[in-house]
Structure 1
Amino acid sequence: MRQAVILAAGRGERLRPRTDFLPKPLLSVAGRPLIVRHLDHLAAAGVERVFINLSHLGALLPRFLGRQWQGMSLEYSDERTQRLETGGALVALRERLENAPFLLLNGDICTEYPLAQLLASAPGLVLVDNPAHHPEGDFAVREGWLAMPAPGLSTYTYSGLALLDAAWLANFPDGPAPLAPWLRQWVAKGLLRAYLQQGYWCDVGTPERLQAARLHYGGT
């Protein structure tokens, strides 16, 4: 089954006061909420099941989206009593992901990367040229594989889009945990391919970047 996880539990502190009333994934770019852009993109790629984690104002997401979207089933993971962070959120879903590959998308990005192409690829991360707010980057690339930064290797930034394997989550404990250290472990083991971003990308994490995405798409 083609499946995906959208991380949608963030507070969106830097986007207040907008996020005092809406969860960040419901902020709109050119008239479409960020999470709707993701869901439309996933449906077009043939995804059948999407898991969405919830926390801040989390009740609004299932109320707005429902349980079906263009033929996909939507399932929710409620973190309103305890935020699990990006890694813990995946551990909480591992049984429902059935030890199978899944797309992972941050709920606060705009991306035009072809998701059907990523689904047909080996597990890996989609990388972007280092943006101004993260000039040091996260990873290097060596012969198509992700590598840790090293002298002589250009660095790139993780875009917030990946294809991962839920079987890799088996030995991590339940509870809050960041994903980044696990990504570095998998990179060190040579498990992750590197895919360079295709098309437009924006991390909509500040009012300025939200406005940049809106201007790109010619709307509000």
Structure 2
Amino acid sequence: MNKPNLIPCFLLAAGRGERMRPLTDELPKPLLSIKNKSLLAWHLEALSAAGIQDVVINHAWLGNKIEEALGDGNRFNLNITYSPEANALETAGGIRRALPLLNPSDYFLVINGDVFSPNLPIQKLLDRASDLRSMPSKPLAHLLMVPNPVQHSEGDFYIKDSQVTNEPLDGAEKLTFSGIGLYHRDLFKDLELDAPNKLAPILREAMAKNRVSGEKYHGPWHDVGTPQRLQELNAANE
């Protein structure tokens, strides 16, 4: 195991998983399994191997099952706390609610609970936080971008060198946001507590101020969005 890393991590697990029904009628989407291991367990094992100590997981739909499955994180050598939401608060709203539990000094890592990305370079991302701190105008977010999958061919944001924008730049490539990124706590400081807020508008506002950086990731990454994709991943030899 790497040396302990004090950057906390937030796992997003509050979605209803409508597209995964009926599988998610009785099980939260992030507890669905690939190779006999839940999506959340894949993340937690990788976080532990990278030296992460503290993890916060939000939940709403069938959240008690997530807590029952993962407990306090002891078996992963992690400290897991939970941020329950009576009604799902969307991504930014969920992050804002969990900030007191995360208690980051500045940056923290966020990973969507419904993506499957074995061999994710978590240590590299954590090291990136040191780079962000040294920049004159500290980025409010650093996004892991991936090639556009078939189901999202139009992509999300443009990236050129390490700058991520909502508007096209000469020589920029439009890629898909992986749902994995480093965020500075200040990105969420003006959000109302326990109010639903989407992440994309907040990121776009920061992009307009040149406060979002990113990098392209070529490793395995999958948005486990449908029962068919889940079945294909379980059948693959990846």
Fold match by TM threshold 0.5: yes
CA deviation map 1:45-99 (0-9, x unaligned): 11110110011111001111001242210010111x2211111001101222324
2:3: which partner in 1?
none
State the one-letter code of the partner of 2:100: E
1:173: which partner in 2?
192
2:160: which partner in 1?
142
1:159: which partner in 2?
178
The structure in which a higher percent of residues are helix is: 2
For residue 212 of structure 1, the aligned residue among 227, 232, 236 is 232
Contact 1:29 1:217 in 2 (8 A): no
2:45: which partner in 1?
40
CA deviation map 1:9-56 (0-9, x unaligned): 111111111111110011000111000000001111111101100111
Tell me the SS of whatever aligns to 1:95: helix
Distance 2:202 2:11 in 1: 18
Q: Does 1:73 align with 2:91?
A: no
State the one-letter code of the partner of 2:107: P
Which aligned pairs between 1:87-166 and structure 2 lie closer than 5 A?
Answer: 87-99=92-104, 100-111=106-117, 112-121=119-128, 122=132, 123-150=141-168, 152=170, 153-166=172-185
2:204: which partner in 1?
184
Deviation at 1:215, TM superposition (A): 2.6
Contact 2:115 2:224 in 1 (8 A): yes
Distance 1:184 1:192 in 2: 9
Deviation at 1:151, TM superposition (A): 6.2
Distance 2:182 2:10 in 1: 10
State the one-letter code of the partner of 1:42: L
Distance 2:14 2:94 in 1: 9
Q: After the TM superposition, list the runs of 4 or more consecutive aligned residues in structure 1 that deviate by more than 4 angstroms.
A: none
State the one-letter code of the partner of 1:136: E
Distance 2:41 2:8 in 1: 16
State the one-letter code of the partner of 1:204: V
2:27: which partner in 1?
22
Identity %: 37
CA RMSD, 1 decimal = 1.5
Number of residue-to-residue matches in the alignment: 217
Deviation at 1:214, TM superposition (A): 1.6
CA deviation map 1:176-212 (0-9, x unaligned): 1111111112222222221111421000011122123
Q: Point out where structure 2 has 5 or more consecutive residues left out of the alignment.
A: 1-5, 133-140
State the one-letter code of the partner of 1:76: Y
